[in-house]
Structure 1
Amino acid sequence: MATPMAVSVPGIQAERDHALDWVKWLALMAMVMDHVWFVLPAEWQDPGYGLRVAGRLAFPLFCLAIAANVARQPAGYPVGIRRYLAGLLLFAMLSQPAYTKFFDNGTLNILFTLALGLPIAAAVQHRTPALIVGAVLCVAIGYAYSSVLAYGFWGVLLPAVLVTAIRSQSSDLFQVLAIVAAVVALLANGALLAVFRDLTAVQYCQVAAIAVAPLLGLLILQIQAPPVRPVGRWMYAFYPIHLLVLSSLAIAWS
């Protein structure tokens, strides 16, 4: 049997994509900065609100990493998608106790949202019957449980929107789809209507960061980025571990 050929997508190469690694590193750093703010002593939180602004980059960039990884998968080769989904679901469940202890907000952690978004993005990319059925199921689950999912229903759809944008990088639709991705990111954060409200300067900066994040990530994917240490499967374990470490620091500081 012939080996399936990799999908040719502008900006996404079959070999190691250093630009994608830069996107992942940026998402990781933004996430950590966001979470560090929560454990700062009260008197440090106002001066440190820039951490929250930077943190708004994280979720759209993680969604972009999902989308770019899906775009790299060979057509008709679902094993990589299944492994990806299995890893997300496993660490979503393992991370939930640490997430609940850290936030205590009654929601599921971000990995559940990304796990639901992955099959939808894969269906948009490959359009096989099995993936389409899985995507419909994930859309239904995302809609039904949007109130307990981090970033809600729109967060589940964002990786698929970004896959569409990646596929169109060489077409005239790219700019339109990039803007659509920015709007969906705002909807996922509940920030679309916030721009019409009386916000502080810092809050407007947060809204701007959310909108800019998908555009920044898509731009990074198009450049010839220098090599950087790859972000591998250790990123799954990093998520619950960093939450536990920060929870311990919060206890120590209090």
Structure 2
Amino acid sequence: MNQATTTQAQTQSLRPSSSWTGWGQWLALITMTLDHVARYLATDAWGMGWVDSSVGRIAFPLFAGMVAWHGLFNTRDPLRYARRIMVIGLVAQLPYQLMPREAIFQLNICFTLALGLMAGHWLEQVAQRTARDQLGLARLSLETLGVLVAWYIAGFWVEYGHEGLLLIPLYMLAIGQIQRSGNTPGQRLIALVSAIPVLLLAGAMNSSEMAKSITVITTLAVLVMAVGVCRLVPDIQWKMSRRMWLAWYPAHFAVIAAILLFVGRAAYP
């Protein structure tokens, strides 16, 4: 066995289990679909107003957590992964734009996830380059300014806004620190502190107490996976097909848009 093969095998052994994401995919798609049906299709007579502030608050932090996890552990090129997410967003944008909302134009959640992953990957790269003393102060300052300007501008146009764009970078910061931490009290304290920002952000993303609680609990559940619980989660028996995972987001919006157009309730881009 050559050195490259040995290094790859060691990396595989250190990589945390991702079995939980198989369960997370089903939960995220089901809760997202329920949320969108309640928000865009249901009338007051349906009595589904509670969905938006309860199960509907699971989907986004769960999607963001899975994207952050895959960006850290399961892809060789996070930027290519982000571009694939953005392609799904482009396909879904037209039916998404037909959903009734206050904003005249808004980019769907795929753009929030893709841009968040790009920012999270940049943070990871900054940490690695700094550790190797390969990042000058001037370059770091310019990169940081560019990222902040991009975050400020994009936050006005994407779903979940400025806060949503920060969720994946803070997830990656926390999960990465948890994975890299050792067993000394100081290292554990650093890992604990690194999880505080993403939990605070999750609590600030909603207005009602129920929505805040569910978003924080979902975020905490993802972080618990990073602590080591992921090893205890069995593989899912009914694994979602890749085609279904990629197509569901634009397809379910297309179905909702068709129904809204039929009943005369669709918005117009």
Q: Would the alpha carbon gap of residues 184 and 92 (structure 1) be closer, same or farther in structure 2, given more than 3 Å must change? A: same
CA contact (8 A) 1:33 1:51 kept: yes
Match of 1:148 among 148, 153, 157: 157
Displacement of 1:253: 6.5
In structure 1, distance between residues paired with 2:13 and 2:121:
14
Partner of 2:124: 125
In structure 2, distance between residues paired with 1:236 and 1:244:
14
| One-letter amino acid of the structure 2 residue matched with residue 177 of structure 1 | S
1:80-125 residue CA offsets vs partner (Å, 9 max, x unmatched): 3232122112121111111110244321100111111111111233
In structure 2, distance between residues paired with 1:85 and 1:135:
19
1:194-235 residue CA offsets vs partner (Å, 9 max, x unmatched): 4xxxxxxxx321121122221022224542112121463642
Partner of 1:211: 216
Q: Would the alpha carbon gap of residues 186 and 216 (structure 1) be closer, same or farther in structure 2, given more than 3 Å must change? A: same
In structure 1, distance between residues paired with 2:169 and 2:262:
41
Partner of 1:63: 64
Q: Would the alpha carbon gap of residues 103 and 225 (structure 1) be closer, same or farther in structure 2, given more than 3 Å must change? A: farther
TM-score where L is the length of structure 2: 0.74
Partner of 2:202: 185
Secondary structure in structure 2 of the residue aligned to 1:226: coil
In structure 1, distance between residues paired with 2:99 and 2:111:
16
CA contact (8 A) 2:123 2:169 kept: yes
Question: 1:6-155 residue pairs with structure 2 within 5 A?
Answer: 12-13=16-17, 17-38=18-39, 39-44=41-46, 47-52=47-52, 53-73=54-74, 77=76, 80-104=77-101, 105=103, 106-127=105-126, 137-155=146-164
User: How many residues matched?
Assistant: 232
In structure 2, distance between residues paired with 1:11 and 1:61:
20
Q: Would the alpha carbon gap of residues 59 and 231 (structure 1) be closer, same or farther in structure 2, given more than 3 Å must change? A: farther
Q: Which moved more, 1:171-180 or 1:235-244?
A: 171-180
Q: Would the alpha carbon gap of residues 205 and 226 (structure 1) be closer, same or farther in structure 2, given more than 3 Å must change? A: same
Determine which structure has the larger helix proportion and give its number. 2
Match of 2:257 among 234, 244, 247: 247
Question: Sequence identity of aligned pairs in percent?
Answer: 24
In structure 1, distance between residues paired with 2:145 and 2:13:
24
Q: Would the alpha carbon gap of residues 184 and 237 (structure 1) be closer, same or farther in structure 2, given more than 3 Å must change? A: same
| One-letter amino acid of the structure 1 residue matched with residue 24 of structure 2 | V
Secondary structure in structure 2 of the residue aligned to 1:168: helix
Secondary structure in structure 1 of the residue aligned to 2:252: helix
CA contact (8 A) 1:119 1:138 kept: no
Partner of 2:184: none
Q: Would the alpha carbon gap of residues 40 and 251 (structure 1) be closer, same or farther in structure 2, given more than 3 Å must change? A: farther
CA contact (8 A) 2:120 2:172 kept: yes
CA contact (8 A) 1:99 1:243 kept: yes
Question: Which of structures 1 and 2 has the bigger CA Rg?
Answer: 2
Q: Would the alpha carbon gap of residues 243 and 69 (structure 1) be closer, same or farther in structure 2, given more than 3 Å must change? A: same
In structure 2, distance between residues paired with 1:73 and 1:227:
16
